[in-house]
Amino acid sequence: MSATGIGAAVRRKEDFRFVTGSGQYTDDVVRPGETRAVFVRSPHAHAKIKSIDVGAARKMPGVVDVLTGAQLATDKIGNLICGWMIHSKDGSPMKMAPHPALAAAKVNCVGDAVAVVIAETYEQGRDAAEKVKVDYDVLTAVVDPAKAQAPGAPQIHADIANNTIYQWHLGDAKATAAAFAAAAHVTKLDIVNNRLVPNAMEPRAALAEYDVGTDNLTLWNTSQNPHVARLVIAAFVGMAPEHKLRVIAPDVGGGFGSKIFIYPEEVVCLWAARKVRRPVKWTCDRSEAFLTDCHGRDHVTHAELALDAQGKILALRAKTIANLGAYMSTFSSSVPTYLYATLLSGQYDIPSIYCEVDAVYTNTAPVDAYRGAGRPEATFVVERLVEVAARQMKIEPADLRKRNFIKTFPHQTPVIMAYDAGDYHASLKKALEIADVKGFAKRKRDAVRHGKLRGLGFSTYIEACGIAPSQAVGSLGAGVGLWESAEVRVNPTGSVEVLTGCHAHGQGHETTFAQLVSERLGIPFENISIVHGDTDKVQFGMGTYGSRSAAVGMSAIVKALDKVEAKAKKVAAHLLEAAEGDIEFKDGKFTVAGTDKQAAWGDVALNAYIAHKFTGQELEPGLKETSFYDPTNFTFPAGCHICEVEVDIDTGKTDIVNWTAVDDFGTIINPMIVEGQVHGGIAQGIGQALLEGAVYDKSGQLVTGSMMDYTMPRAHDLPSFHVGMTETKSPSNPLGVKGCGEAGAIAAPAAVINAITDAIGTEDLAMPATANAVWSALKRATPRQAA
Amino acid sequence: MYNFTFHRPTTVRQAAGLLARNPEAKLLAGGHSLIPVMKQRLAQPSALIDLSLVEGLTGVEQKGRSIVIGAMTRHADAAISPVLQQALPGLAAVPAAVGDPQVRNRGTIGGSVANNDPNADYPAAVLGLGATIITNKRRIAADDFFTGMFSTALEDGEIIVKISFPIAKKAAYEKFKHPASGFALVGVFVSKRGADIRVAVTGAGSNGVFRVKSFEEALKKRFAAKSLEGMTIPATGMNSDIHASAEYRAHLVGVLARRALAKATA
């Protein structure tokens, strides 16, 4: 392993500009004559718009224009769409309600934009926005997914009965029912997977510019996938032809999924920029972000696990209601279906699984993918069921897991997925050692003496990453392919630029992708640049989400590097006057087998461009290759997290005293970055379990609308994590990588809740397990019999 | 934020004059409550009168049997004051427990007490020690000062100059932090100075800071956690929100009072 190659803990190249404040985020981009957009948003969760009067606002100082949804319709700007078709059990397609970028007739959640002020300055825009008079006819709202389908519930969208988007299912209902009928033990749980607000550090932003001379539109925005944004805005919204629209996603300060989607504000900025013939910028403030960023999770589930008398799992079934909010966001439909139910087999050999999912509209912010997207929800269902079943059957939770682990690969689950590789015993064994589970009983006894209840919770999770084989996802309803692209450009001096269709918003691609190139070409790490995020520079790409950039994006780079190496060998053959088949390439040098003739990488690169050693008939000049890589399977990162907690009996406050994470991510490119991803993921998972929860009141007002009420995890809420690795390489991609970006957020919530419920002796505890919630659960509890 | 005029007086008299001439003006101390609501356009003062350049409003001093803290003394400075740590460490723990480092480095005792946020820490100490609030016009006893949520005995044009705390032999503060905001979900300050025994609670009461007379009575026999064993206060009159029910807050008052007593008598 070289100092900057695969497996080296290289410091992140990009951090210098981030930590010195010299990054360039969308809001940092300033265009001549720039104006500011300020949105007028609905204060009501559900209301008809009777009238909008923009007269007074137009007269305010600094106002350039005030635009409404009616004008948007007149200009034939199309609706936002959801790009993944889900069919109900009865074969009918999902019911996608119109989602205009500015509401014209009706608002369906607090924060729905009804007008936009374009002004010289932000403050002038704010002043004018207050003068827009909107007359609403307020309607009754519904916010609780469990109540959205009830007879008499307010109907949010015309022609969509019971607010039901689809009633989907997966698996074999009959076989599952038969297994339950024959089971010796059945564990049942009612689970609420709490709604989360993503809260990336950089709020969303958009800057649109129209060039009158060329009729081109440019959009700078906070996107995880600028090409997909361009495609949707061109082909579906109909803003401009694809080739007349450039989308640039410069430095982006975190996404966690929330910046995958196409939002109303960027559409409005583009439209307005062309109307007012000046650049239009919008930068979200934190209060707007709470209301309008797509939220995550929000499932209500009844789940059951059937086991035989020896603790062998026979079947699992789940019935979930998923809240998709007021409108269907870009990929919302896929999250509670193909990203959720397909993972309900966990790490276990389960013969039968049946899952039903109803997706519903409510008068809340749209819900879409958020770190883990469906897989945290699935893991929470599986790992809570298994833990509770073990307690009920008086089997050690680790033992019950061992009895049911999948041991041979490939393994076909009853819910689509074919796991390609893994060793679940290995990660459990290592985690048990690191967590000193043997010493837990003594620690528990000691804690009681200090008024504390200790608990231990496991989460042996699995996820499907590296999304995904295009044909497979196409057959499941995806509107796009999920391959990735790369172009490797070798310059005449031998330095290299890699243009990737991935997008980095915190992941460290500029470092890890360069490590791959440094390893393969044997050239210095600093001679490699990674270019991403600009549709005018980079070939079409699918972007970054779902822990896909290593498994899919780097695989594309590998394929392009293969082509570069093959071409370079041809150049070297001419340069060294040898047969192409005799050229060997290693450590940045080309040699001729059996001789001492050699050429350095830089000589070959230069000769590829000066083209003095070969004719155009023999070889094309230049050294630049492209690859579009379509994966053959998902990858399946998996591992074991063990959480140890102490609960203060008097206050109910939980302290996480020990955290062990043993993960199998396949080949590790940069262990430091992987560890950072694991830490961040666990922090978000602990946040969900202990602290975070978006709460709407009955009228649809977001009660947790700021950092004063929505509890983000802080450093002092978290312990030092003990992180370990095991490794089984993924056979489904050339590097053997699996992906690590979401694992912590997927594994952690179940581990925390399993630990707290172990401590307090009752399963009756919902997330977030605040001190008040734990104290109340303790009060309600009848202590479990000591084993 | 709406436009406003900004004044920087250098004496209390100037500040009072500006306040008299600008009825819609607000005094700016640390600004950590006022500026956020202005940014959200929920407050629209015509003018801000910044007290940070006013002379003589900062510092912690011992004067006889009292500790006197200037109104513009920042929480971070009060928390590390050697005078305070020596004479009344139970009070030093209060500014140390406020919010986060940013708030502690800007926020002031005068701003906190004048704002009387029902979840703020300092009101518990002011009431729990029987302090005296000294303004440009008069001296106000703590028991008369806090008149309800965000409401005090301060009159128009009145500016807090300093606060005088009697040095109690035993005093301690115990706080259960609001997980999101860092304010007190519940905070209890206990003190004993001769026969004067006080238990003051912030965060819990729907009418702001209050004393728990039943606890104070019980502590007259013996100033110790054991005296409050099994004692609770009723949930009526407690705040209830998504973070804590009234019942839970009432329960925490008992728990934190016992913990504060254990600290004060350790």
A705-734 confidence digits (pLDDT tens): 999 999 999 999 999 999 999 999 999 999
**Site from A40, A648, A651 to mutate, B interface, most B CB atoms within 10 angstroms:** A651
Instruction: Read off φ and ψ for residue A517, nearest 5 degrees.
Output: -70, -40
Report residue A390 CA to chain centroid gap. Answer: 31
Contact list in B for residue A718 (CB cut-off 8 A) is: none
Kindly indicate the confidence band of residue A782, based on its pLDDT and cuts at 50, 70 and 90.
low
Superfamily of domain A31-139+201-254+259-292, CATH level 4: Aldehyde oxidase/xanthine dehydrogenase, a/b hammerhead (3.90.1170.50)
CA end-to-end distance (rounded Å), chain A: 50
CA distances from A668 to A6, A328, A665, A722, A735 (A): 7, 36, 7, 17, 9
Mean pLDDT of A522-528: 95
Residue B120 to residue B118: CA distance in whole angstroms: 6
Check residue A1 and give its pLDDT.
60
The minimal CB distance from A650 to the residues B1, B243, B255 is found for B255
Q: Are the C-beta atoms of residues B261 and B172 closer than 8 Å to each other?
A: yes
A451-471 confidence digits (pLDDT tens): 999 999 999 999 999 999 999
List the CATH code of the domain at B1-53: 3.30.43.10
Q: β-strand B47-50 against B5-7: which pairing, if any?
A: parallel
Task: Please give the share of chain B, as a percent, with pLDDT higher than 90.
Answer: 99
Contact list in A for residue B231 (CB cut-off 8 A) is: none
Q: Within 13 Å of residue A603, how many CA atoms lie on the same side as its CB?
A: 15
The minimal CB distance from A651 to the residues B41, B176, B181 is found for B176
Q: Are the C-beta atoms of residues A149 and A166 closer than 8 Å to each other?
A: no
Residue A708 contacts B where some CB pair is shorter than 8 Å? yes
A317-355 confidence digits (pLDDT tens): 999 999 999 999 999 999 999 999 999 999 999 999 999
Say what angle helices A743-760 and A771-780 make with each other, to 10 degrees. Answer: 40
Residue A261 Cα, gap to closest chain B Cα (Å): 27
Cis peptide before B101 (omega within 30 of 0): no
* CA proximity to A557, closest of A502, A481, A634, A633: A502
Mean pLDDT of A647-673: 97
Is the CATH number of domain B170-264 3.30.390.50?
yes
Mean pLDDT of A639-656: 98
Residue type, A73: A
Interchain contact, B242 vs A704, CB within 8 Å: yes
* CA proximity to A731, closest of A422, A412, A375: A422
* CA proximity to A654, closest of A760, A744, A746: A760
B15 burial (CB, 10 Å; 0-12 / 13-18 / 19+) is buried
Residue A67 to residue A80: CA distance in whole angstroms: 18
Residue A664 Cα, gap to closest chain B Cα (Å): 33
Q: β-strand A528-531 against A496-500: which pairing, if any?
A: parallel
Which residues sit opposite A335 in a β-bridge? none
Interchain contact, B242 vs A123, CB within 8 Å: no
B90 CB-near residues (< 8 Å, 6+ apart): B168, B170, B171, B172, B173, B189, B191, B263, B264
Q: Are the C-beta atoms of residues A243 and A233 closer than 8 Å to each other?
A: no
Element (H, E) at A119: strand A113-119
Residue A701 contacts B where some CB pair is shorter than 8 Å? no
* A235-264 core/surface letters (b: 16 or more CB in 10 A; e: else): eebebbebeebbbbbbbbbbbbbbbbbbbb
Residue A287 contacts B where some CB pair is shorter than 8 Å? yes
Task: Please give the share of chain A, as a percent, with pLDDT higher than 70.
Answer: 99
A728-776 confidence digits (pLDDT tens): 999 999 999 999 999 999 999 999 999 999 999 999 999 999 999 999 9
Mean pLDDT of A273-282: 98
Q: Reduced to 3 states, what is the DSSP secondary structure of residue A40?
A: strand
Contact list in B for residue A770 (CB cut-off 8 A) is: 179, 243
Residue A422 to residue A346: CA distance in whole angstroms: 12
Task: Find the residue in A nearest to B181 (Cα).
Answer: A708
Q: Let me know if the fold of A299-467+633-780 is the same as that of A483-629.
A: yes
DSSP A783: P
Scan residues 521-580 of A and list those with Cβ closer than 8 Å to B.
none
Which residues sit opposite A459 in a β-bridge? A641
Q: Taking the CA atoms of chain B, what radius of gyration do you get in angstroms? A: 18
Residue B169 contacts A where some CB pair is shorter than 8 Å? no
Residue B254 Cα, gap to closest chain A Cα (Å): 10
The complex scores an ipTM of 0.96
Q: Which two tokens stand for residue A76?
A: 């034939």
Interchain contact, B176 vs A712, CB within 8 Å: no
**Site from A121, A772, A780 to mutate, B interface, most B CB atoms within 10 angstroms:** A772
Cis peptide before A468 (omega within 30 of 0): yes
Interchain contact, A775 vs B242, CB within 8 Å: no
Contact list in B for residue A691 (CB cut-off 8 A) is: 179-180
Residue A709 Cα, gap to closest chain B Cα (Å): 6
A474 burial (CB, 10 Å; 0-12 / 13-18 / 19+) is middle
A14 CB-near residues (< 8 Å, 6+ apart): A504, A508, A510, A511
Residue A575 to residue A605: CA distance in whole angstroms: 11
Contact list in B for residue A288 (CB cut-off 8 A) is: none
Contact list in B for residue A710 (CB cut-off 8 A) is: 180
Task: Please give the share of chain B, as a percent, with pLDDT higher than 70.
Answer: 100
Assign domain A483-629 to its CATH architecture: 2-Layer Sandwich (3.30)
Residue type, B123: P
Check residue A787 and give its pLDDT.
30
Residue B75 to residue B113: CA distance in whole angstroms: 12
A177-211 confidence digits (pLDDT tens): 999 999 999 999 999 999 999 999 999 999 999 99
Contact list in A for residue B243 (CB cut-off 8 A) is: 709, 770, 772
Residue B20 contacts A where some CB pair is shorter than 8 Å? no
Check residue A784 and give its pLDDT.
42
Asked whether the predicted pLDDT for residue A220 surpasses 90, the reply is: yes
Residue B180 contacts A where some CB pair is shorter than 8 Å? yes
Residue A749 to residue A656: CA distance in whole angstroms: 12
Contact list in A for residue B179 (CB cut-off 8 A) is: 691, 711, 717, 770-771
Hey, how many other C-beta atoms are within 10 angstroms of the C-beta on A151? 5
Element (H, E) at B184: strand B184-193
Q: Within 13 Å of residue B31, how many CA atoms lie on the same side as its CB?
A: 13
Cis peptide before B166 (omega within 30 of 0): no
Residue A50 to residue A666: CA distance in whole angstroms: 58
* CA proximity to B183, closest of B110, B266, B120, B103: B120
- For chain A, give the number of residues: 787
Scan residues 61-100 of B and list those with Cβ closer than 8 Å to A.
none
Task: Find the residue in B nearest to A704 (Cα).
Answer: B242
Interchain contact, B1 vs A708, CB within 8 Å: no
Report residue B138 CA to chain centroid gap. Answer: 19
Interchain contact, B176 vs A771, CB within 8 Å: yes
Residue B251 contacts A where some CB pair is shorter than 8 Å? yes
Say what angle helices A671-686 and A743-760 make with each other, to 10 degrees. Answer: 50
Average pLDDT score over chain A = 97
The minimal CB distance from A709 to the residues B2, B40, B180 is found for B180
Mean pLDDT of A17-25: 96
Asked whether the predicted pLDDT for residue A783 surpasses 60, the reply is: no
Contact list in B for residue A772 (CB cut-off 8 A) is: 243-245, 248
Residue A777 to residue A782: CA distance in whole angstroms: 10
B41-88 confidence digits (pLDDT tens): 999 999 999 999 999 999 999 999 999 999 999 999 999 999 999 999
Q: Which two tokens stand for residue A280?
A: 């239009």
Asked whether the predicted pLDDT for residue A785 surpasses 60, the reply is: no
A583-612 confidence digits (pLDDT tens): 999 999 999 999 999 999 999 999 999 999
Scan residues 29-68 of B and list those with Cβ closer than 8 Å to A.
40-41
B89-123 confidence digits (pLDDT tens): 999 999 999 999 999 999 999 999 999 999 999 99
Residue A770 contacts B where some CB pair is shorter than 8 Å? yes
Check residue A126 and give its pLDDT.
97
- List the A299-307 sheet strands across, edge first: A164-171, A352-360, A313-323, A299-307, A185-193
CA distances from A362 to A82, A147, A165, A294, A701 (A): 16, 9, 11, 13, 12
A35 CB-near residues (< 8 Å, 6+ apart): A64, A118, A119, A120, A276, A278, A279, A280, A281
* CA proximity to A357, closest of A306, A290, A405, A299: A299
Interchain contact, A703 vs B242, CB within 8 Å: yes
Instruction: Give the residue carrying structure tokens 């830490």.
Output: A679
Cα B253–B255–B258 angle (5° rounding)?
Answer: 105
Cα A336–A342–A344 angle (5° rounding)?
Answer: 95
Interchain contact, A770 vs B243, CB within 8 Å: yes
Mean pLDDT of A90-105: 98
Contact list in A for residue B252 (CB cut-off 8 A) is: 651
What would the DSSP string read from start to end of A44-64? SSSEEEEEEE-HHHHTSTTEE
B172-194 confidence digits (pLDDT tens): 999 999 999 999 999 999 999 99
Asked whether the predicted pLDDT for residue A2 surpasses 90, the reply is: no
The minimal CB distance from B181 to the residues A695, A708, A775 is found for A708
A85 burial (CB, 10 Å; 0-12 / 13-18 / 19+) is middle
CB pairs under 8 A between A and B: 42
Which ranges of A658-736 does DSSP label H, i.e. alpha helix?
A: 671-686
Assign domain A299-467+633-780 to its CATH architecture: 2-Layer Sandwich (3.30)
Contact list in B for residue A767 (CB cut-off 8 A) is: none
Q: What are the domain boundaries of chain B? A: 1-53, 170-264
Check residue A398 and give its pLDDT.
98
Interchain contact, A776 vs B243, CB within 8 Å: no
Hey, how many other C-beta atoms are within 10 angstroms of the C-beta on A567? 19
What would the DSSP string read from start to end of B197-240? EEEEEESSBTTS-EE-HHHHHHHHH--SGGGGTT----STTB--
